[in-house]
Chains A and B, each alone.
Chain A
């Protein structure tokens, strides 16, 4: 069965400090991994997709299949980064994406001035 673990429920850093939000997954097949962000009173938004290897708002995430991890990193945190972050796993059925996301419990990031 698929499982996503975000070990930190709360994470506090100061502005300008590096931040890393951890995500570990359990899945035997070919995973699709995403990071979603939910700012206060806003809808859940897609932040990163592992397949695109992009950087959004200064955030990056690398899929490490050996460690089954997909940690989210940013070298210099900003106050506007304060939000709830969810790691999510989808499974790939032979090259077609199936819409069955398994979410971690989320990490609340607070960036202090």
Chain B
């Protein structure tokens, strides 16, 4: 079956702009999580959605937001971009069964200039 699909693969934005990233989970997976990966901070949890509801949120400013649609597809939005937002943004989807694990997409590489 198809894996987790993230679009676009690469983005270059200017400081102050906003950006929307998209994630299509594996069919049947209702949990979608987002992570930020940087060389300095590693992998950090942004937020998680399940059945269109945000269940968990990481320690990121309010400029980072997300949503999930009824078909489980998810988007994350970053407003007023800062240089420090340059990172690889990863989406992961999972079944809610305990210990199932998470399947990651290839990520969206965001560069803020």
| Chain A interface residues toward B at CB < 8 A | 32, 34, 36, 43-46, 49-52, 86, 88, 92, 95-106
Which of under 10, 10 to 19, 20 to 34, or 35 or more describes the interface residues of B? 20 to 34
Name B residues whose Cβ lies closer than 8 Å to a Cβ of A: 31-33, 35, 42-45, 48, 50, 55-56, 58, 90, 92, 94-107
**Are the C-beta atoms of B56 and A100 separated by less than 8 Å?**
yes
Do the beta carbons of A97 and B98 come within 8 Å of each other?
yes
Q: Are B98 and A43 in contact (CB under 8 A)?
A: no
B50, chain A: closest CB distance, angstroms: 7
Which residues on the B side are within 8 Å of A88 (C-beta)? 43
Give bound CA distance, A41 to B48, whole Å.
25
Which of B31, B45, B100, B107 meets A49, CB within 8 Å?
A: B100
Whole-angstrom distance from the CB of B48 to the nearest CB of chain A? 4
B90 to chain A, nearest CB (A): 7
With A43-B105, A44-B90, A105-B42 known to touch, is A97 a contact of B56 (CB < 8 Å)? no
